[in-house]
Chains A and B, each alone.
Chain A
Amino acid sequence: MEHAEVHIREEKYQISDGNKKWAFGLMIVGLILAAIGYFTYHPHIEGLGEHDLHHLIQKRLLSNLLVNGYFFFIVSICAAVFISISQIANAGWYIAIRRIPEAMSEYSLVGGPLYILISIIALPVLYHWAHHGIMDAESLNFDAILASKSWYLNVPFFYIRMVLFMGFWMFCAHLFRQYSRKEDLVGGLENYKKTYALSAGFTVVFGFTFSMFSWDQMMSIDAHWYSTIFSIYNFATGWVSALTIMYLFTHYLRGKGYLNIASDEHQHDLGKFMFAFSVFWTYMFTSQFLLIWYANIPEEVTYYTERLFGSYNFLFFFIIFLNFIVPFFVFMRRDFKRSRIVGFIVGGAILLGHWLDVFLMVMPSSMNIATNPTDANPTGIIKVDFQGIGLMEIGFLCLFAGLFLWMTLKALTKANLYPTKHPYVMESALHDVGI
């Protein structure tokens, strides 16, 4: 084999003025837009009193916070999962871009506590099972089905699980970063072996805990409904979004002249990952939908009747277009996976699609108004139609995207842009996917 000249450079990312403008601009504009959206939102819905409408404004605000908090948190944790999976698979190609998922996982340091804060405010408002009196047999709005689940769905246990799981993931992500940065200083195999052992443990624990996490956070918004494939469907969403962000960052950094050992070959492999996991997401999405659609059991189909036949109908088909049709038919070509322009278009479509996917998991259930059951309305739930993608939605998306961007770029400045003393760094620099 002919070895091209490889220069392992120790370089750190320098935050440019443009980065600052974008990150803080997004945050400030997002906050202003969200505030305007919040104060100008005066819903008029038939059958709802003044009190309920006021409640609805709060619900929309908190739902948006929950959507963004959840989406960006799972993306940042999935970046840590990418490191651990690549590590236990003994992969060598990804070393050139390894600092990007490491930097993305650093968002969880801010995003995690922020999400817990959001959850503390949102839990009594958005989650029907956490409403006052639901589990109390004496109460007017007592729900026997939810009460039978109270051993799992109760507020203290919910927070114990949440803090334990998130704490464990964030701690592991921290250790991944720490080992990797230490390796740059001392070299050798010691940190590599430690990362290997940690990855093996983390991947197994993550698999189980993420399932419960997604039931708690997303599925229990509509606590009567359940789906056994829901957690892997959530994981697919976070995972493919994380891969897409890595892909876009690689393009960006290479365009700026950084990452001298990353080439089109690495870009191509990340593109293949995006393509493959877009199909994986579609597989999970279809499996969940198809079985529920076919079996047609009343307590299961509620989830899809709201989304498929109600006012969310357009979004439902739009996310299939963005998350499956676009990546599948565009990214099938080899040269499109390597192209910067096409990459940015497809990447943008995938990210928007998966954000809308989480949006569609939360909104239709969380925006319903719960009242006391009456004879006319035995469930006591008043359905509220889709309120549109307004300033509040766009504003909060910008706010969180700006925060994510800032945390990631700042983390990139803390260490060399690729691990210079990793045992596989040469393998990655010479990575070649063939013709």
Chain B
Amino acid sequence: MILGVYDNPDKTYAATKKLLNSGYSVEDVYSPFAIHGIDRLMGIKRSKLSVAAFLFAMTGLSLAVTFQVYVSYFDWPMIIGGKPNLHIPTYIPITFELSILFTAFGMVTCFFIVNRMFWGKNADIIDIRVTDDLFVVAVNVQQNKTDIQALNQLLIDNGALEVRERTKE
């Protein structure tokens, strides 16, 4: 992988566009904040996290309803405040809360899994400076096929502060 380090989001955007137009395969662009439009440029697909969120919410909802109906109607019916044992309004708060809880936990878990982050793993940061003020464009190279010299020149021509090589992990 060849990394081009930039100090400006506009330069990063322009360099990425140039690389893609020249037929290079851009592995990823690393940035301390969101660069508008770069996701469209790189052709990143819409995240399926919202579908996952909906499914988690439905899981929470059905578990909450099942549990409450089982407890308050089948297993141990109790009369509280003269209310019927099987009645929708009673279930609203807990169902609502559990749907949210499952969504939140589920999405965080999904996020960790998708980003391959788990406890005890060493953070694999492409360049420590992207967590502060610099931007990195990572370009894939194929052994003996990519003209490294031309690629380096292209990155520097588009305003790279430095260009270096890094093995892909």
Q: Is A294 an interface residue (CB 8 A)?
A: yes
Query: Contacting chain A: which of B33-41, B66-74, B137-145, B156-164?
Result: B33-41
Is there contact, CB below 8 Å, between B92 and A435? Answer: no
Q: Is the CB of B82 within 8 A of A434?
A: no
Return chain B residues, CB-CB under 8 Å to A430: 36
Does residue A186 face the partner (Cβ distance < 8 Å to B)?
no
CB of A290 within 8 A of CB of B93, answer yes
B36 adjacent to A434 (CB under 8 Å): yes
Assess whether B128 is interfacial by the CB under 8 Å rule.
Answer: no
Q: How far is the CA of A289 from the CA of B9 in the complex (A)?
A: 51
Chain A residues with CB below 8 A from B14, complex form: 2
If A2-B13, A294-B81, A332-B54 touch, whether A289 touches B89 (CB-CB below 8 Å) is yes
Which of B's residues lie within 8 Å of A, judged by CB? 9-10, 13-14, 17, 34-37, 39-41, 44-46, 50, 54, 81-83, 89-90, 92-93
| Number of A-B residue pairs with CB-CB distance less than 8 Å in the complex they form | 37
Interface assignment of A11: CB less than 8 Å from any CB of chain B: no
Q: Interface on chain A toward B: helix, strand, loop, or mixed SS?
A: loop
8 A Cβ contacts from A268-302 to B: 286, 289-290, 293-294, 296
Which A residues contact B (CB, under 8 angstroms)? 1-2, 286, 289-290, 293-294, 296, 332, 334, 430, 432, 434-435
With both beta carbons as reference points, the residue of chain B lying nearest to A333 in the complex is identified as B50
**Minimum-distance CB pairs A-B, first 6:** A432-B36, A435-B46, A435-B39, A1-B13, A1-B10, A293-B89
A286–B40 CA distance with the chains assembled, in angstroms: 41
4 more A-B contacts (CB under 8 A) besides A1-B37, A296-B82?
A1-B9, A1-B35, A290-B89, A290-B92
Q: Which residues of B contact A289 (CB under 8 A)?
A: 89
B54 touches A434 (CB 8 A): no
* B131 smallest CB distance to A (angstroms): 21
B58 → chain A closest CB, angstroms:
12
Q: In the complex, what residues of A have CB within 8 A of residue B82's CB? A: 296
